[in-house]
Chain A
Amino acid sequence: MKILLVFASLVAAACSEQLFVGDQVLRIMASNEEQIALLRALGEQTELQVDFWRHPASPGHPSDLRVPFPSLQAVKTLLESNGISYSIMIQDLQKLLDEEKKAMAKSRRTERSTSTFDFASYHTIDEIYDWMDTLVADHPGLVSKLQIGQSYENRSLYVLKLSTGGSNRSAIWLDTGIHSREWITQATGAWTANKIAEEYGQDPSVTAILDNMDIFLEIIANPDGFAYTHSSNRMWRKTRSINAGSHCIGVDPNRNWEAGFGGAGASRSPCSETYHGPYANSEPEVRAIVDFVTNHGNIKAFISIHSYSQLLLYPYGYTNTPVPDHEELHEIAERAVTALSSLYGTSYEYGSIYTTIYQASGTTVDWTYDQGIKYSFTFELRDTGRYGFLLPASQIIPTAQETWLALKVIMQYTLDHPY
């Protein structure tokens, strides 16, 4: 029986999504040879499209017949008028198939998630890339994976797209891990992607957001750097590109954007942690996002996540001049920070990059803001220096949970204030 169901679902999967809506499976008890002959003849009537899951063999032995919805009336009338007793074994075949598919996916997910991906620990790039595929498999129709380019060392740059359909809907972008040593950010990115996928259909706010907008999440924005933090230097920040004429490697991907590029607040020296690079967008990791954002053309909120310092920042970093939308961004930041600290009392400061941390030129959100993406924010997650970049894994989930509340404020605000 189970085999037949699986076969049916495979057929359905191969042909189309909803093949068996309203179809029923009848258990028929033929009491004599005459009734057996009648049933066999029923099976031959091509216009009825019935098929026997268990063929009529001999009287007293049940036979199982799948009857497509349009033929139900005719078949039942035939059985009744000939005194052939039957019962309805499966009320709606499609419903049963759907439930089974869900159960299978759930157990696959449980197996995979409990034995493979632990959100409460730090992972390698391969582990995160593998997990991304399982997230896509677990949420078909909601989560897909895009490749937006390749890193300097030819690693794939993947972005998860969370979407319920539409065509080029307005969208929200999140990225984590652009500075590879900020391990809490990639970990938070993974947790957040999973959270959004789970909350769709459950949380009214997330559901409303995804019913109207798409969310793009680049969890490992600097894969070369990230691999290097695992293999060689835990404190590596930049990309791993070779700098002509220097033995020093890498460009600061948060100084490489075309916004005040090369000005005060970045370094001209390839050996520096804030080296801006030979020219704007020289880094393929940065170029990939620039191209994506430009081609998409409909991103309304852009959130770039860093650590540490517990800050929520908005543009500008390259100049002390406030952005035109300064008051609105300040208010959003205040609300977001209030939501964040409501969970564990973690306190954040907020303000423009320039006034709150330092002058920084060529930064991501300065560029996105100047492209017209009004709601551009940078987070600096936990902590304030006790562990700094080496935040213990026990703080991953609390950090992700509290940050989630702030992200929801920003996303909901973006949904409520279209422009």
Chain B
Amino acid sequence: ELPPSHHAATRAAALAACYLSYRRGSPGRCLALQAVRSGRRQDIDGIGHKYYLELVLEDVVDKDSTVNCTAEVLHHLGNKNIAPDVQFTIEGELKNTDEADNMFYNRIKSLDKELVAENIPDNHGNISPEMEPIRLLAWVASGYVIWQNSTENTKFQLAQIKHVKQVKRNDEYLEFDYMILLHEMVSQEIIPWQMTVLWHPQHGVQVTRESRQLKH
């Protein structure tokens, strides 16, 4: 049994929330961890550590909109290159975000030139309304990167988008090349990370390439 405030619980919960956000997210639907209701850890001989969690997630844009879920996170013993296994169950339905998603999709599709932007949010925490969905998309996509790179001794957050560039495509997908900064809480490092993100309202978010960059 873990107190909800214990770092083992909060790290596993953050990881589960990121994974969930990636699997279910879109520019119109962005979920973040609001609270840990309960946590339990099981040490499985020869396999690893398994966490059982009850979480409350909130909609990043509408904080009052919350959803409960349960999650299981398994950190494998030994090989640190295997991403942890995450399974989750969401209580109830997530709200439909087709309208917001389609609006963003059409807006980008109708641009004359490929979108380019940097420093989202800026140093003072400001984000322009047009850039908000770009940021939410990065949030969702970073959930994948974080899931793939997490251990029991890490807790990642998306700190900032340094640079984003839309990549022209011939098909219906939108593609963005992001350079983000991830903040890793335990080491306190700010790590530049490249990620290539594919999205379509009906096909969800995909990260096709991601690579950790060298700190300057």
Residues of chain A having any CB pair with chain B under 8 Å: 121-122, 229, 234-235, 237, 252, 267, 271-274, 309, 347, 349-351, 355-358, 384-393, 395
8 further interface pairs, Cβ-Cβ under 8 Å (given A355-B5, A390-B122, A393-B124): A273-B189, A274-B188, A350-B5, A355-B7, A385-B14, A388-B183, A389-B159, A390-B125
Within 8 A of A (CB), among B21-57: 32-33, 35
Q: In the complex the two chains form, what is the Cα distance from A274 to B188 in whole Å?
A: 7
Given contacts A235-B181, A388-B159, A390-B121, contact A356 B6 (CB under 8 A): yes
A390 to B187: give the CA distance in the assembly, Å: 19
Tell me whether A358 and B125 are in contact (CB under 8 A): no
A356 touches B33 (CB 8 A): no
Contact status B157-A122, CB under 8 Å = no
Residue B186 lies at the interface, judged by CB distance under 8 Å to chain A: yes
Check A390 against B6 for contact (C-beta < 8 Å).
Answer: no
- Closest residue of B by beta carbon distance from A396: B125
A-B CB pair tally, cutoff 8 Å: 72
Report B1 CB to chain A, min CB distance, Å: 14
B32 to chain A, nearest CB (A): 6
The reply to whether B157 and A388 form a contact with Cβ atoms under 8 Å apart is yes
B134 at the interface (CB under 8 A from A): no
Q: Is the CB of B124 within 8 A of A122?
A: yes
Q: Quick one: which of B14, B32, B159 contacts A390, CB cutoff 8 A?
A: B159
Contact A358 B7 (CB under 8 A): yes
Q: Give the residues in chain A near B124, CB-CB below 8 Å.
A: 121-122, 390, 392-393
Instruction: Name the residue of chain B whose CB is nearest to the CB of A184.
Output: B125
Residues of chain A with a CB closer than 8 A to B186's CB: 358
Given A274-B188, A350-B5, A356-B7, do A385 and B32 touch, yes or no (CB 8 Å)?
A: yes
The 3 closest A-B pairs by CB, nearest first: A392-B125, A349-B5, A273-B188
Contacts A386-B60, A390-B121; is A347 near B126 (CB within 8 Å)?
no
- Checking A274, A351, A392 against B121 with a beta-carbon cut-off of 8 angstroms, the contacting residue is A392
Cα separation A387 to B159 with both chains bound (whole Å): 7
The answer to the question of B100 belonging to the interface, with a C-beta cut-off of 8 Å to chain A, is no
| Interface 1/0 per residue, B1-22 and A, CB below 8 Å | 0011111001000100000000
Nearest-neighbour CB distance to chain A for B75, whole angstroms, equals 16
**A344 to B157 CA separation, bound complex (whole angstroms):** 24
